[in-house]
């Protein structure tokens, strides 16, 4: 792995997003998340009050060909980091996001739910998966918030490894 892709996944390894939620991957796209005027940096702290409104999420690939992405947003630390029995809690699921577009241009499968950590510091993981073609629907029905499994969802929908990911931390105010 060359220096650039490794630098992109290092914060995910340090924050244990890899291996808790995702397998090691080589980034093939960029994901930008903004709450209002604040850009989320990988591993940064975000107050729950800032995350109440759906963020702007922009996914841009490096393939040069038009394509679509699936966005999965989960909290692997629910309800408590010391006892994550609901691992993973699904906060948002959007499919068919056109490359180079905002997530709002895709099809929302699970409505956005902002960070609501009841105790401790929680991680909120944004993972973008490149689709082979438009999906229109997901193979796993029904999609539930509680005990969502990003790896299983990716496998069931033939998405493979993520193309991009980032996470932020949040704790009860």
**CATH number of the domain within which 107 lies:** 3.90.280.10
131 backbone dihedrals φ, ψ, rounded to 5°:
-90, 150
The predicted pLDDT at position 61 comes to 80
Residues of the domain holding 67? 3-141
Q: Confirm whether 167 is domain-assigned.
A: no
173 residues of the chain, pLDDT tens digit each: 344 456 779 999 999 999 999 999 999 999 999 999 999 999 999 999 999 999 999 999 866 667 999 999 999 999 999 999 988 999 999 999 999 999 999 999 999 999 999 999 999 999 999 998 999 788 866 789 999 999 999 999 999 999 999 999 999 87
Sequence-distant (6+) residues with CB within 8 A of 22 are 12, 125, 127, 150, 151, 161, 162, 165
- Give the other-Cβ count within 10 Å of 42's Cβ: 19
- Give the other-Cβ count within 10 Å of 43's Cβ: 16
Total domain count, the chain = 1
Q: Confirm whether 103 is domain-assigned.
A: yes
Q: Confirm whether 171 is domain-assigned.
A: no
Could you tell me if 159 and 67 are in contact, meaning their C-beta atoms sit under 8 angstroms apart? Answer: no
Q: Report CA 59 to chain centroid distance, whole Å.
A: 11
Q: Confirm whether 47 is domain-assigned.
A: yes
Radius of gyration of the chain from its Cα atoms, rounded to whole angstroms: 15
The predicted pLDDT at position 2 comes to 41
Q: Confirm whether 151 is domain-assigned.
A: no
Q: Confirm whether 157 is domain-assigned.
A: no
The predicted pLDDT at position 66 comes to 75
Q: Report CA 97 to chain centroid distance, whole Å.
A: 13
For residues 28 and 96, what is the distance between their CA atoms, to the nearest angstrom? Answer: 17
pTM: 0.93
Could you tell me if 123 and 167 are in contact, meaning their C-beta atoms sit under 8 angstroms apart? Answer: yes
Q: Confirm whether 37 is domain-assigned.
A: yes
Give the bridge partners for 129, in sequence order: 70
- Give the other-Cβ count within 10 Å of 102's Cβ: 16
């Amino acid at each position: 792995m060359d220096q650039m892709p490794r630098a992109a996944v290092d914060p995910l390894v340090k924050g244990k997003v890899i291996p808790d939620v995702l397998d090691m991957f080589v980034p093939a796209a960029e994901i930008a998340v903004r709450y209002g005027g604040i850009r989320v940096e990988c591993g940064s702290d975000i107050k729950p009050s800032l995350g109440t409104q759906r963020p702007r999420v922009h996914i841009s690939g490096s393939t040069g060909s038009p394509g679509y992405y699936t966005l999965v947003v989960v909290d692997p630390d629910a309800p408590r980091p010391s006892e994550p029995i609901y691992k993973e809690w699904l906060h948002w699921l959007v499919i068919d996001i056109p490359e180079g577009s905002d997530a709002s241009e895709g099809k929302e499968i699970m409505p956005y739910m902002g960070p609501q950590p009841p105790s401790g510091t929680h991680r909120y993981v944004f993972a973008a998966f490149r689709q082979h073609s438009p999906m229109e629907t997901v193979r796993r029905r029904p999609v539930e918030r509680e005990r969502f499994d990003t790896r299983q969802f990716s496998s069931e929908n033939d998405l493979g490894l993520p193309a991009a990911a980032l996470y932020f931390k949040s704790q009860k105010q």
